[in-house]
Structure 1
Amino acid sequence: MKPRNPLGVHALVWAGDTAPASVTTAITKTKACGYDLVEFSLHDSLNLDVDRTRAELNRAGLRVACSRGLAMDADISSDDPAVVERGERLLHESLRLTAGLGGSHLTGALYSAFGSYSRPLSAAGRATVVSVLRRLAKEARGTGVTLGLEICNRYETNVVNTARDALRLADDIGEDNVVIHLDTYHMNIEENDMVRPVLDVGDRLGYVHVGENHRGYLGSGHLDFTSFFHALGQIGYTGPITFESFSSAVVAPGLSADLSIWRNLWDDGEDLARHAHGFISAHLTAVPA
C-alpha cells in the first residue's frame, strides 16, 4: 500500500553541490528510488540553475523543497543591524529560488546562523527574528511557498531547540503559512521522547525529517521510530516526510564542517536511499489510518 505522505530524500545523499550535473544525478536517482520529492540545500545556490532544474523536476514528476541555515555574518538573531540585513537578504533570495523551482516549502534554521553559540539568545535578537520572519512569511504568501521552522539541537542554534520553542516562535510571527518542522535526529538530543513533541505540534506540523541518531542507515541506531510514526498517524499528518542522512562519502564544502560530518557512515547513497524508502513506507503502512 502506497504511503499517504509524499516521501522525500535530501539531495546531499547524492551530491554535495547543486551544479547542473549534480542536480541531474540527484533528480534521476531520487526518481529511480521511488521518492516523490527531493530536498535541495541552498548552501550552494550560486551554482543552481533554477530554470534547468525546474524543467528536470517537471520531466521527472518530482516535487521539490528547499532548506537552509544562515551564517554568523548573516544571522537574523544578531544584535548587529548590518548582520541582520545580510541575513534577511539571504532569506528573501532563498524564497525567490524556492518559488522559482516550484517548491512547496522553504525550511530549515531560517531563524539563526548554523553553529554553536557562546551565549543565550538576547531578547532584542529574538524580537528581530520575529519581525524578519513575519516579513518573509508575508512575501511567501504570494508565492505559494510555506515556511518551515526546523527545530535544531543546542549545538547548532540557540533560538529553537524544542517543539514548544518553535510553537512559541510561530505564535509570535503570527502567519499561518509558517509551519513546524520536526527532525528525529534533533528530537533525540533535545526532547524527552519521540511522541509528545508530535502531539504538542499537532495540525501545525508541516514538514518532517527522518534521520537516525547517528545519521546513518535507518533502524541501525536506537531511535524509537515505531512510536514516532504512530504519533504521526495519531495527529493525521499527511505532509512530506523526507529522509536525511550525511556521510563523509558526500562532501559539501563548508556545510559538512558546519554539520560535523567527519565519519563515513555509508558509501552507497542509492542503497541507503532505497533502504530508507522501504523502512519509512513499512512504518507508515503499519500505522492505522
Structure 2
Amino acid sequence: MQADKRIKRRDFLTYTTGILAGLPTFNILGQPSSSDVPAAGFTLPLGVCTSYDKAGLLKRLGYSFVEESVGRFLIPDEGGDAQFEKNRLALAEETFPVRSYIYFFPGKLKSVGPDLHHEAILARAEVALKRAKECGSKNIVFGSGGSRAIPDGFDRATAKAQHIALCQKMAPLAEKYGVTLAVEPLNRSETNFINSLAEGVEIIQAVNNPWFKLQCDIYHMLKDNESPDEIVKYGQYITHCHIAEKQKRTAPGVMGDDFRPYFRALKKIKYTGGLSLECVWTDFDSEITRGIDVVKKQLNDV
C-alpha cells in the first residue's frame, strides 16, 4: 500500500512538474495526456476541374470529386439532350460525383452593357441548374468574366445594377433546383468587374438569397495580391474554392507556391466545402498526382 502511494505521488509530481516546465506530460500508462496529443490536420474534399473521363484516375489517387464544365457535361444549349443523358449514365456507372461546374455561360451572352441577353442567360441557367440537380451536384460557379465585362465608356453603376437585376432573377432558379450559384471574383487581367471577394459580396448582399453565395479562388486572390484576411472577413458567404499557383496557373507543386496562409484562413472560418484544382496542365497525370500530395500536406500543416 505504501509503495502504491509512493508511485502515485511520484507520478503526480512528474505530471505537475511537466506542466509547470511546459514539457509533454504522460499518464500512468506512459501515454501522452490528451492535451498533448497533436490536433488532426485540416482536411477538405479535393477535386479537379477536368473532363469526367478522368474520374477513375482521380478516384484512385484519392480525390473526392470532379468539377466539370457546364457546356461540356450539362450541355444546356439546344440539341444537347442525348449527350447529356450519356453523361448522366456515365456518372451513375462510375459512382464518382461531379460536385460543381465551371464555364456557366459564354462571353457572347452579355449580362451588362448596351446590348443585354438576360432572357437567354436565364433560359440557359434553368436548364443547367435542373440538370445539375439530376446529377446530384452541389453548385455551379458563376464566373463568366467575358459576359460581365463592362464595355469601355459604359457607366459602371448602370452595369452593376444590370448585373444585380439578372442575379435577382437567377437566384430563385438556384433555389428551385437546390443547387447553389457561387459568384466568382476574377483577377483584373481577366475581367473588369467583380475582382475581389468584397465586390462579390456586394452582389450577393443585394440579391439576398441563401442559394446565391461566394466562390473563393485562391489563384485569383494571389494574382491581385488579395489578402487571406478577406477570407476570414467574408467567410460566411463562401461555398466553394479553387486553387492554382500564381505565376502561370500551374498545379500545386509545380512552382512550389505556399498556400498555407489561405488554408489557415479557411480553417479559421471552419470551411468544409470543396477545394478544386483549376489549373493549366502540362503533364496532367503527373501533376494531379503531385498536386494532391502537396495540397494535403499544406492543409495538414495548418
TM category, shorter: 0.7 to 0.9
Number of residue pairs aligned between Structure 1 and Structure 2: 255
What is the match of residue 65 of structure 2?
Answer: 37
Distance of 1:61 and 1:137 partners within structure 2: 29
What is the match of residue 260 of structure 1?
Answer: none
Identity %: 21
Q: Does 1:173 align with 2:207?
A: yes
**Aligned ranges 1:134-173 → 2 under 5 Å:** 134-173=168-207
Q: CA deviation at 1:2?
A: 8.7
Letter in 1 for 2:55: I
Q: Which piece of structure 1 moves more, 212-221 or 227-236? A: 212-221
Distance of 1:9 and 1:56 partners within structure 2: 17
**Aligned ranges 1:227-246 → 2 under 5 Å:** 227-246=261-280
Candidates 269, 274, 279, aligned match of 2:294: 279
Question: Structure 1's 119 and 163: CA in aligned 2 closer, same or farther, altered over 3 A?
Answer: farther
What is the match of residue 103 of structure 2?
Answer: 68
Aligned partner of residue 168 in structure 1, secondary structure: helix
Distance of 2:206 and 2:150 partners within structure 1: 24
Q: TM-score, normalised by structure 1?
A: 0.79
Question: Structure 1's 102 and 187: CA in aligned 2 closer, same or farther, altered over 3 A?
Answer: same
Letter in 2 for 1:273: I
**Aligned ranges 1:82-97 → 2 under 5 Å:** 83-97=117-131
**Aligned ranges 1:195-274 → 2 under 5 Å:** 195-213=228-246, 214-221=248-255, 223-247=257-281, 266=282, 268-274=283-289
Q: CA deviation at 1:36?
A: 1.0
Q: Does 1:126 align with 2:160?
A: yes
Q: Which piece of structure 1 moves more, 106-115 or 203-212? A: 106-115
**Higher gyration radius (CA):** 2
Candidates 107, 110, 114, aligned match of 1:79: 114
Give unpaired runs (5+ residues) of structure 1.
16-22, 248-265
What is the match of residue 7 of structure 1?
Answer: 46
Aligned partners of 1:153 and 1:161 also within 8 Å = yes
Q: CA deviation at 1:137?
A: 1.4
Aligned partners of 1:68 and 1:107 also within 8 Å = yes
Q: CA deviation at 1:164?
A: 0.5
Point out which structure has higher relative CO (alpha carbons under 8 A, 6+ apart): 1
Distance of 2:104 and 2:153 partners within structure 1: 19
Give unpaired runs (5+ residues) of structure 2.
1-39
Distance of 1:91 and 1:53 partners within structure 2: 18
Distance of 1:136 and 1:32 partners within structure 2: 37
Candidates 108, 113, 136, aligned match of 2:147: 113
Q: CA deviation at 1:227?
A: 0.8
